[in-house]
Amino acid sequence: MRFIKHPVLCNYYITYRCNASCGFCDIWEKPSPYVTIEQVTENLRDLKKLGVQVIDFTGGEPLLHQQLPEFLSLAKKSGFITTVTTNTLLYPKSAKKLKGLIDMLHFSLDSPIAEEHNASRGVNCFEHLLESIQIATQLGERPDILFTVHSGNIHQIEQVYREISQPNNLMLILNPIFSYKQVGSELSASDLEKLYHWGGKKLVYLNKAFLTLRKNGGNHSDNPLCKAGSTTIVISPENKLVLPCYHLGLEELAVEGRLFDLYHSEKVKEQIALEGRHNACEGCTVNCYFMPSFHVELSKYLWHSLPSTLKYAWEKGIWKKSVKASLS
């Protein structure tokens, strides 16, 4: 039973440009403009009217956009929960400008071993990660360590937890890898079993609904769990509404300052009616879209997801905002 019928999340791609070249991602290969302050102002106005509660300013590398602090400030003033994920190359220079503007700040990590992390990212950034943790802590920020788990690094979770997360009192987010368009790979059944026990540890966020989803073969197009089109609004750097999601990207509609009306257009309604039902949706496990999908209707996935979600909100001090958002 669906109890939230409006979109709750906006994945706002402020640029596709990136200063790294991660092997499990292809977004850095795309040419890209930067969004403008005028576009963001107009779209935040309409996102608020549509009922969106969380704005993820993403990329590419979002810190490449020099106006990111302004975007975040506008979003915070409008009452949105804000989130940013960064490879940390630019964080030391940007930290003071970003202070207090990001509710959920994620520092990406692929390995606790510098050489391995740098090789995965295609650029030397491990030392920037350690420096960024120190700077953020000094500023009173509590970034999360976002560890994308795959078969090649699952054995390193203990080391990341012991050497980076715990000593700095930072939340460790275990993010199961997903595949799309021949990028990335899925975890094996034995990998999933290894992950399960981590969810109960202090300062660890592991959404067990992600593991259940993978055990059940991902999304099934004949009975879709994915609600990407109706829960998540994706805006591209070209200021286009991307449907039904970024990863499938079947249709892009120019926003032109009319996001609210565009979202209620027949074209968007047609795409929403097909969410999770395309052939390419079969077996999908893209975390970005299933997280909101878990939380808009009553299902076993909601009950599997809720404990970790509440734990994270409590640890981050955003539980009041999260509860308010979930009741909106």
What would the pLDDT profile of 201-234 be if each residue is shown by its tens digit?
Answer: 999 999 999 999 999 999 999 999 999 999 999 9
User: What is the rounded average pLDDT for all residues in the chain?
Assistant: 92
Is 300 part of a structural domain of the chain? Answer: yes
Q: Strands, DSSP E only, in the chain?
A: 9-13, 54-58, 81-86, 104-109, 144-149, 172-176, 204-205, 232-235, 240-243, 251-254
Q: List residues bridging with 266 in a β-sheet.
A: none
What would the pLDDT profile of 112-159 be if each residue is shown by its tens digit?
Answer: 999 999 998 889 999 999 999 999 999 999 999 999 999 999 999 999
d(CA 302, CA 224): 15
Task: Name the one residue in this structure whose structure tokens are 């669906």.
Answer: 2
Is 4 part of a structural domain of the chain? Answer: no
Is 1 part of a structural domain of the chain? Answer: no
The total number of structural domains that make up the chain: 1
Mean predicted confidence (pLDDT) in 70-99: 97
CB atoms within 10 A of CB 221: 16
Q: Specify the pLDDT at position 187.
A: 84
pTM, two decimals, is 0.94
Is 98 part of a structural domain of the chain? Answer: yes
Is 2 part of a structural domain of the chain? Answer: no
Instruction: Answer for the pair 272, 230: CB distance below 8 angstroms, yes or no.
Output: yes
Is 140 part of a structural domain of the chain? Answer: yes
Least confident of 41-55, 73-87, 137-151, 180-194: 180-194
Instruction: Give percent of the chain above pLDDT 90.
Output: 82
d(CA 112, CA 178): 21
What would the pLDDT profile of 20-49 be if each residue is shown by its tens digit?
Answer: 877 667 676 677 899 999 999 999 999 999
**Residue 182: which pLDDT band, with cuts at 50, 70 and 90?**
very low
What would the pLDDT profile of 230-282 be if each residue is shown by its tens digit?
Answer: 999 999 999 999 999 998 989 999 999 999 999 999 999 999 999 999 999 99
Q: What is the CATH classification number for the domain harbouring 294?
A: 3.20.20.70
Parent domain of 105: 9-327
Is 227 part of a structural domain of the chain? Answer: yes
Across the beta sheet with 144-149, what order do the strands follow?
204-205, 172-176, 144-149, 104-109, 81-86, 54-58, 9-13, 232-235, 240-243, 251-254
Q: Is the pLDDT of residue 97 over 80?
A: yes
